[in-house]
Amino acid sequence: MTDTVATTASVDGDAPLLVVDNLVTHFIAGRRRIRAVDGVSFRLARGATLGVVGESGSGKTIMARSLMGLLPEEGLFQAGSVRFEGEELIGLSKRQHRAIWGPGMAMVFQDPLTSLNPVMRIGPQITEAIKAHRKIGRTDALDLAVDLLRSVHIPEPERRLGQYPNELSGGMRQRVAIAIALSCGPRLLIADEPTTALDVTIQAEILDLLQELQQQRGMSLILVSHDLAVVAGRTDQVAVMYGGKIVEHGPTVAVFEQTRMPYTEALLGAIPRLELPSHSKLQAIGGRPPDPSASPMGCSFTPRCPYAQAKCEGEAPPLERTESSDHLYACWYPLEPRTTPRAAVEGGHGAPEPGGRNGAARPVTRAAGA
């Protein structure tokens, strides 16, 4: 069973900007198949914001790059559908993808040092993107570059055009990367862990900037992060990924306040709690993420789930709808609905104590040596 959730559109009745249906992205090396993304479906409305969260290795970055067509073709297997403004993207050539990049879709990467050319000045890096998609002269392109730097709150933008990336701070480099991504007015911006390499104060500034620019430009935004607290107050929807799949998906308020999937609960529990004494031990998720080259018969979270039962090991749960039709989860024995104050998460207070269960949990019986 594959289900999708549509984010809230800015105008009721608008067709979704992006429709992803059963997206599969595998990498094949000899006889080994890496199932990086294994059946992801969702819809993104125009002007809406989707947060994609999960641990490292959950598949969120590969999913984002799959949408953009930024994966190497050698050893790549893709299936399913990605439709952007009604156009199918799966199967397009690199040249065809380039026509969509810029005015259609753009991406901000985790580390600006890897996306900016260290031997090029800032000005040419911005104008290069502008002139690739617009019929515009050098002077007009430079004027637009200055406006873009000013829009991302970089002081003295005219002077920055002549500087190299190493002359800027990490936060300013990320602002330059955002300016380049916005240079052609994309209708969808994908931000992949855009604040991980920055200190906490600058992180908040960059996230606030992305939210401000999105609202000003009316574009859709996919915010990829390993931190649920980052997306708590900045998204309309949240998709929680684990083992290459979406395991919980719905309105941000519903996912935080009516958490149903144990993995989502574990992520919430790992958020630092400001009310605890200093030097308190952080709550960690035991075990390791699943091996993407393996093919588990049941739920991939079973080895790490404190509530696992025998059925979890033998059969993979489908995405099921809650009483609220736009909140989905993949769990045979979901958490009982309980209120998780979202304000506490947004303020860095972490999650409350775990909620109850539908059914008594018992350890999974495994064969000796398993």
61, two tokens: 């970055």
Answer yes or no: are the C-beta atoms of 52 and 20 closer than 8 Å. Answer: no
Answer yes or no: are the C-beta atoms of 243 and 253 closer than 8 Å. Answer: no
Of the candidates 41, 58, 39, the one whose C-alpha atom is nearest the C-alpha of residue 6 is 41
pLDDT for 4: 55
The pTM assigned to this predicted structure is 0.86
- Non-local (6+) Cβ contacts of 145 within 8 A are 123, 126, 127, 130, 157, 161, 179, 183
pLDDT for 323: 67
Tens digit of pLDDT at every position of the chain (370 positions): 445 555 544 444 468 999 999 999 999 988 899 999 999 999 999 999 999 999 999 999 999 999 999 999 899 999 999 999 999 999 999 889 988 999 999 999 988 888 899 999 999 999 998 888 888 888 999 999 999 999 999 999 999 999 999 999 989 999 999 999 999 999 999 999 998 878 888 888 999 999 999 999 999 999 999 888 889 889 999 999 999 999 999 999 999 999 999 999 999 988 877 777 777 777 888 899 999 998 878 999 999 999 999 999 999 999 988 765 789 999 999 998 765 444 445 544 444 444 444 444 433 333 333 3
pLDDT for 240: 97
Q: Calculate the alpha carbon distances from 302 to 54, 268, 330 in Å.
A: 16, 18, 12
The C-alpha angle 249, 250, 253, rounded to 5 degrees, equals: 130
pLDDT for 369: 34
pLDDT for 202: 86
The rounded distance, in Å, linking the Cα atoms of 22 and 79 is 8
Answer yes or no: are the C-beta atoms of 36 and 59 closer than 8 Å. Answer: yes
Of the candidates 189, 192, 350, the one whose C-alpha atom is nearest the C-alpha of residue 272 is 350
